[in-house]
A and B are shown apart, each in its own frame.
Chain A
């Protein structure tokens, strides 16, 4: 079989192209004592990486794909999600292209890293599972994560998981799960955190001021709600002078939605409160006295 007509050769070359393309925005991050780790170009002067590989705040060095060195400083950290953004002196970083669609189970994926000066490194696999929300070993809450069967070579933390066209599906890290199991933080979440870190230096987490527990919504109430939602959050406590009390939420309400999204689990509520809801007047949907009711709550910030 001639190589020009061999689809396997075409696939092989396409994967090498994907590595070359994504590798051009994958940098070496030297911010710990042992083996350096990897980072993803977020903007010309910003690199997104894993928080756990940035063990020091000073004397951080970046090696760009063209072999040039840059000094870097920490622009922001989100230890809970194991993400950090570094600001690069002199810029020159190529921002990575993100995948237009979220990752799908079964999709071919490549894990990339640049832990040495010898060039880009890669491992092949597929997206094995999509999970979350999950509480991380670092006290955070990961809204969603990807698992793959790529090999997490040493120093791959902070590097990208890319699709067959070299577009970023997520950031790889072995620092989130117990036992160093490698996970991938999906691009949607990672980029959202990166934006917050670049702007504020930390991730703003919303604060309602309620204590709750998940309860099953009775069939009759489900009908009143007008959707097939099995669980809601029974409010068992509302703090005085909190956003929740100012908005008129009461003990005994069953919280079922926030900002137009259904809420059926305390972890889902926590995940929804991360990001740009802080300071915003937000619709909170509850069941009270057997009837759905929407109240407006101005979300506070958890300090």
Chain B
């Protein structure tokens, strides 16, 4: 039997696939796992591996938002990922773990900024979410159910506002139909050009996402670093 021939293949779909791979690869370089809780230790006991799990242990995504070159980097994630955290640390793509220090947090917009003393981590390109339009392609990258660097795609479903419990009263949000799961929290929502347009924050209606726009995140980081400068 001869292989299936597609008369419409003219290179366009391969070019799309390549572009998608490139976007994902760039984002994954700047993606970290945020651990909140005591380290899980694995002990060998005879032939069975026993996982010691001492109490609360949360996992979410984080993004290298700003690199300070040799002195370290700032990691952006969701406040709810690090809330009440003890032994906060990040895990890089290669599995190495490092302790992080909280720099700033804002529960109202569910963002937290962390600092890690690891030199030369690649910062993610940030796009301006104020130019987003409904219908534009977006991809969510994170660690749903612990699966590292998992990618889902969809589009900007609506640009709307959500009520908050805090002085703002409401905050702009991006609603997308890219499928999310627990573990996507704190991970980036990126546009077709590979720029971060939002931080995935909430899941509604089962599997649809709500993201805090990048311009809200940029303002939060800007204020946090102004205060942090000594």
One of A9, A20, A116 near B135 (C-beta < 8 A)? A20
Question: How many chain A residues touch B (Cβ–Cβ < 8 Å)?
Answer: 28
One of B20, B136, B154, B193 near A16 (C-beta < 8 A)? B136
B163 within 8 A of A: no
Inter-chain contact A121/B157, CB cutoff 8 Å: yes
CB distance from B188 to the nearest CB of A (A): 16
Inter-chain contact A12/B136, CB cutoff 8 Å: yes
A84 within 8 A of B: no
B12 within 8 A of A: yes
Please provide the chain B residues from 165 to 205 with a CB less than 8 Å away from any CB of chain A in the complex.
Answer: 175, 177, 191-194, 205
Q: In the complex, what distance in Å separates the CA atom of A1 from the CA atom of B22?
A: 8
A151 within 8 A of B: yes
One of B135, B158, B194, B205 near A18 (C-beta < 8 A)? B135
Given contacts A8-B16, A121-B157, A151-B177, contact A20 B192 (CB under 8 A): no
Inter-chain contact A12/B191, CB cutoff 8 Å: yes
A15 within 8 A of B: yes
Inter-chain contact A118/B20, CB cutoff 8 Å: no
B92 within 8 A of A: no
Given contacts A16-B135, A23-B134, contact A8 B157 (CB under 8 A): no
CB distance from A13 to the nearest CB of B (A): 7
Chain A minimum-CB-distance residue to B139: A8
CB distance from B14 to the nearest CB of A (A): 10
Chain B minimum-CB-distance residue to A149: B177
CB distance from A15 to the nearest CB of B (A): 5
Q: In the complex, what distance in Å separates the CA atom of A15 from the CA atom of B134?
A: 9
B118 within 8 A of A: no
A239 within 8 A of B: no
Inter-chain contact A3/B193, CB cutoff 8 Å: yes
With a cutoff of 8 Å between Cβ atoms, the chain B residues found around residue A116 in the complex are 160
With a cutoff of 8 Å between Cβ atoms, the chain B residues found around residue A7 in the complex are 12, 15-16, 19
Residues 116-132 of chain A, each 1 if its beta carbon lies under 8 Å from chain B, else 0: 10111111100000000
Chain B minimum-CB-distance residue to A21: B135
One of B15, B155, B205 near A122 (C-beta < 8 A)? B155
With a cutoff of 8 Å between Cβ atoms, the chain B residues found around residue A15 in the complex are 135-137, 155
A101 within 8 A of B: no
Q: In the complex, what distance in Å separates the CA atom of A95 from the CA atom of B121?
A: 53
Q: In the complex, what distance in Å separates the CA atom of A120 from the CA atom of B156?
A: 11
Chain A minimum-CB-distance residue to B22: A1
Q: In the complex, what distance in Å separates the CA atom of A120 from the CA atom of B158?
A: 7
Please provide the chain B residues from 9 to 32 with a CB less than 8 Å away from any CB of chain A in the complex.
Answer: 12, 15-16, 19-20, 22-23
Inter-chain contact B135/A6, CB cutoff 8 Å: no
B223 within 8 A of A: no
CB distance from A166 to the nearest CB of B (A): 9
A110 within 8 A of B: yes
Inter-chain contact B135/A110, CB cutoff 8 Å: yes
Inter-chain contact A151/B193, CB cutoff 8 Å: no
With a cutoff of 8 Å between Cβ atoms, the chain B residues found around residue A18 in the complex are 135
B87 within 8 A of A: no
A102 within 8 A of B: no
Q: In the complex, what distance in Å separates the CA atom of A18 from the CA atom of B175?
A: 18
Q: In the complex, what distance in Å separates the CA atom of A87 from the CA atom of B16?
A: 44
B68 within 8 A of A: no
CB distance from B33 to the nearest CB of A (A): 26
With a cutoff of 8 Å between Cβ atoms, the chain A residues found around residue B155 in the complex are 15, 110, 122-124
Given contacts A15-B136, A19-B133, contact A9 B193 (CB under 8 A): yes
One of B15, B20, B154, B191 near A124 (C-beta < 8 A)? B154
Inter-chain contact B135/A122, CB cutoff 8 Å: yes
Given contacts A8-B19, A8-B20, A123-B177, contact A13 B136 (CB under 8 A): yes
Residues 78-118 of chain A, each 1 if its beta carbon lies under 8 Å from chain B, else 0: 00000000000000000000000000000000100000101
CB distance from B194 to the nearest CB of A (A): 8
Inter-chain contact A20/B133, CB cutoff 8 Å: yes
Inter-chain contact A121/B19, CB cutoff 8 Å: no
The 4 A-B pairs with the shortest beta carbon distances in the complex, nearest first, are A19-B135, A12-B192, A12-B137, A16-B135
A-B contact pairs, 23 of them (CB 8 A): A1-B19, A6-B19, A7-B19, A8-B20, A8-B23, A9-B19, A11-B192, A12-B136, A16-B133, A16-B134, A16-B156, A19-B133, A19-B135, A20-B135, A110-B135, A118-B158, A119-B134, A121-B157, A121-B175, A122-B158, A123-B177, A151-B177, A151-B208
